[in-house]
């Protein structure tokens, strides 16, 4: 009847996934169908991901966040990464990317898909090196495609594919140079493979073959920005923009095959460049949803990049980005642990919500209104219920209790809220 969510939408069919997303977002389902048909909204939902609770990403919808996990050669604790996934789901992340690059990656991926109600994403090129246990130059184009198909079979909802870095864009990068060169792990692998073999990027050269796999399983293609800036010095340069133009061309080709598309965006960028870059991406990529890593707005804060990222993410999403990849305090330093992951998730969720207020997303301001109402009423239990991180709010409160229980130890009896409430009621105020 239909092959993908986009195919159904173009045919005027409203799928179960569209109905669920429309209800979650409080939008009319017919409007949502039109947005999916035009490519401005994606519903990543692999046919083999049976436990999925679908989410929409794109125009007019809440800003979603993604959490990265995965095993590596230096940190290959299988169970720990699954615990991270469970924690990410508990903390209301809408997506998890499995970036595993070592060991029993397929076993881990299948367990993750089996237990996860949230979208699962992967970067197959990471997996290829570990899966085949070969030097990069010895992996064939055929083997890259075999790994992609395995990920699709396993139920992955979206995959990052670095199809925009081809011989031409690589030449532009080499001619222009950069302070931090290529910082995308997947992008650097494809670039190195092309340099070592002398061949064209197989994902670009055989793009139609890739789309056949994605259409078969209804995998959303997340077109990776191999040439994203790794420092504010390199942002909005010729390499980044040329690749973005190519990604726009690849977007239209995917839509012709009814494959849903997201575009991945810059990693490091000065604040004043963020809004223009969001406009540029939406223009060059025809309104496709934009997925950004940060952007990190200054390069000098290792250990605090969840903050530099949240600043950039809020600005990006307020100006059109649809999907934020979280960044943790461990960015640039180590594989994050569970505590790092939690800090990154909360920071990203704050950024996403702040942006949704600015974008006028339905219901966004209501949450803040309810919190302000609880604060006016000095209703501490209600404040904790509404807090984005209830556990931390309660812990801070309990760690320093005031003499008057309806105040806090910052102001005590000088509490502005309490005294103003009393003054308005004509009640006696006792500050001493």
Structure confidence by residue, pLDDT tens digits, 261-283: 999 999 999 999 999 999 999 99
426 among annotated binding-site residues: no
- Please indicate whether residue 20 or residue 130 has the higher confidence score (pLDDT): 20
Same structural domain, 299 and 201: yes
Mean pLDDT, range 400-420, rounded to an integer = 92
> Which of the listed residues 316, 333, 359 is the one where a domain comes to its end?
359
Query: Is 411 one of the annotated binding-site residues?
Result: yes
Residue 43, in any domain of the structure: no
Distance CA 317, CA 36 (A): 19
256 and 388 share a domain?
A: no
Report the C-alpha gap between 133 and 103 in whole angstroms: 10
Place of tokens 């993410």: 313
Is residue 190 a contact partner of residue 166, using CB atoms and an 8 Å limit? no
pLDDT for 321-344, tens place per residue? 999 999 999 999 999 999 999 999
Average pLDDT value over all residues in the chain: 96
Provide the 3-class DSSP secondary structure of residue 160: strand
pLDDT at 159: 98
CA-based nearest residue to 187, from 233, 125, 245, 144: 125
241 has a pLDDT exceeding 80: yes
Q: Which residue has the tokens 């939902």?
A: 45
Q: Is 75 annotated as a binding residue?
A: no
Q: Are residues 384 and 345 in the same domain?
A: no
Q: Considering its fold, how many domains does the chain have in total?
A: 2
Residue 415 has pLDDT above 90, yes or no: yes
Write the secondary structure of 256-278 as one string of H (helix), E (strand) and C (coil): HCCCCEEEEECCECCHHHHHHHH
Would you state the pLDDT for residue 431? 86
Q: What is the pLDDT of residue 29?
A: 98
Q: Counting Cβ atoms within 10 Å, is residue 395 exposed (0-12), middle (13-18) or buried (19+)? A: exposed
417/245 Cα distance (integer angstroms): 53
> Is the same domain home to 322 and 209?
yes
Residues 228 and 321: their CA atoms lie apart, in Å, by 15
Section 303-321 average pLDDT? 98
Tell whether 157 is in a known binding site: no
Q: Assess whether 397 and 254 both reside in one domain.
A: no
Position 76 pLDDT exceeds 80:
no
Distance of alpha carbon 358 from alpha carbon 354, whole angstroms: 7
pTM above 0.75, yes or no: yes
Q: 200: buried, middle or exposed (CB in 10 Å: 19+, 13-18, 0-12)?
A: middle
312 in the same domain as 202: yes
Is residue 394 scored above 90 in pLDDT?
yes
Q: Do 226 and 347 fall into the same domain?
A: yes
Task: Say if residue 313 carries a ligand binding annotation.
Answer: no
Please give the pLDDT value at position 120: 98
Q: Do 178 and 55 reside in the same domain of the chain?
A: yes
Report the DSSP pairing between strands 57-58 and 41-42.
Answer: antiparallel
Residue 308: both structure tokens together: 């530099």
- The pLDDT confidence band at residue 79, using thresholds 50, 70 and 90, is confident
| Cα torsion angle, 420, 421, 425, 430, sign | negative
Residue 264 contacts residue 292 (beta carbons within 8 Å): yes
**In a shared domain, residues 121 and 211:** yes
C-beta of residue 194 within 8 angstroms of C-beta of residue 200: yes
Q: What DSSP letter does each residue of 99-149 carry, written as one string? A: ---SSSHHHHHHHHHHH-SSEEEE-HHHHHHHHHT--GGG--HHHHHHHHH
Q: Per residue in 208-233, pLDDT tens?
A: 999 999 999 999 999 999 999 999 99
The model's confidence at residue 347, banded by pLDDT at 50, 70 and 90, is very high
The number of beta carbons lying within 10 Å of the beta carbon of residue 382 is 15
Any binding-site annotation on 184? yes
Residue 286 known to bind ligand: no
Helix or strand or coil: residue 416? helix
What is the per-residue pLDDT for 115?
96
- Total residue count of the chain as it appears in this document: 432
- Output the six-digit token pair for 242: 């040329």
- Residue 226 marked ligand-binding: yes
Residue 227 marked as a ligand binder? yes
Whether residue 386 sits in one domain with residue 341: no
Q: What is the CATH number of the domain that holds 289?
A: 3.20.20.540
- The CA distance from 153 to 226, in Å, is 25
What is the pLDDT, as a whole number, of residue 430? 85
| H or E element that contains 77 | none
381 is in an annotated binding site: no
408 is in an annotated binding site: yes
- Structure-block tokens of residue 358: 């600015």
> Mean pLDDT, to the nearest integer, of 36-42?
98
Same domain, 339 and 387: no
The verdict on 391 and 317 lying in the same domain is no
Task: Report which DSSP code applies to 296.
Answer: B
Q: Is 291 known as a binding-site position?
A: yes
Whole-angstrom distance, CA of residue 1 vs CA of residue 203: 28
Domain of residue 332 covers 48-359
């Amino acid at each position: 009847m239909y092959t993908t969510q986009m195919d159904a939408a173009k045919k005027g069919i409203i799928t179960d996934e569209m109905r669920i997303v429309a209800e979650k977002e409080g939008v009319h389902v017919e409007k949502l169908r039109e947005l999916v048909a035009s490519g401005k909204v994606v519903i990543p939902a692999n046919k083999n991901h049976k436990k999925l609770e679908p989410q929409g990403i794109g125009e007019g919808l809440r800003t979603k966040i993604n959490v990265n996990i995965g095993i590596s050669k230096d940190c290959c604790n299988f169970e720990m990464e699954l615990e991270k996934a469970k924690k990410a789901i508990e903390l209301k992340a809408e997506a998890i990317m499995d970036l595993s690059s070592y060991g029993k990656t397929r076993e881990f991926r299948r367990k993750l898909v089996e237990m996860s109600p949230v979208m699962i994403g992967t970067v197959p090129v990471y997996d290829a090196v570990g899966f085949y246990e070969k030097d990069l130059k010895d992996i064939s184009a055929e083997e890259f495609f075999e790994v992609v198909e395995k990920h699709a079979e396993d139920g992955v909802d979206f995959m990052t594919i670095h199809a925009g870095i081809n011989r031409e864009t690589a030449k532009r990068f080499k001619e222009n140079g950069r302070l931090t060169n290529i910082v995308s792990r997947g992008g650097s692998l494809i670039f190195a493979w092309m340099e070592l073999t002398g061949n064209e990027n197989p994902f670009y050269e055989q793009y139609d073959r890739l789309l056949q796999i994605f259409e078969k399983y209804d995998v959303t293609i997340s077109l990776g920005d191999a040439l994203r800036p790794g420092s504010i010095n390199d942002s909005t340069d010729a390499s980044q923009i040329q690749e973005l133009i190519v990604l726009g061309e690849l977007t239209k080709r995917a839509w012709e095959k009814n494959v849903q598309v997201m575009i991945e965006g810059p990693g490091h960028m000065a604040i004043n460049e963020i809004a223009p870059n969001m406009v540029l991406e939406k223009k060059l990529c025809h309104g496709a949803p934009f997925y950004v890593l940060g952007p990190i707005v200054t390069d000098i804060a290792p250990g605090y990049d969840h903050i530099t990222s949240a600043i950039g993410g809020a600005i990006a999403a307020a100006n059109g980005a649809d999907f934020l990849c979280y960044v943790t305090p461990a960015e640039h330093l180590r594989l994050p642990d569970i505590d790092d992951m939690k800090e990154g998730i909360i920071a990203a969720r704050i950024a996403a919500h702040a942006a949704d207020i600015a974008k006028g997303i339905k219901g966004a301001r209501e949450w803040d209104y309810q919190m302000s109402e609880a604060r006016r009423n000095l209703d501490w239990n209600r404040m904790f219920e509404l807090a984005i991180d209830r556990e931390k709010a309660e812990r801070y409160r309990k760690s320093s209790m005031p003499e008057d229980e309806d105040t806090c130890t910052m102001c005590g009896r000088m509490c502005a809220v309490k005294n103003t409430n009393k003054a308005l009621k004509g009640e006696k105020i006792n500050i001493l």
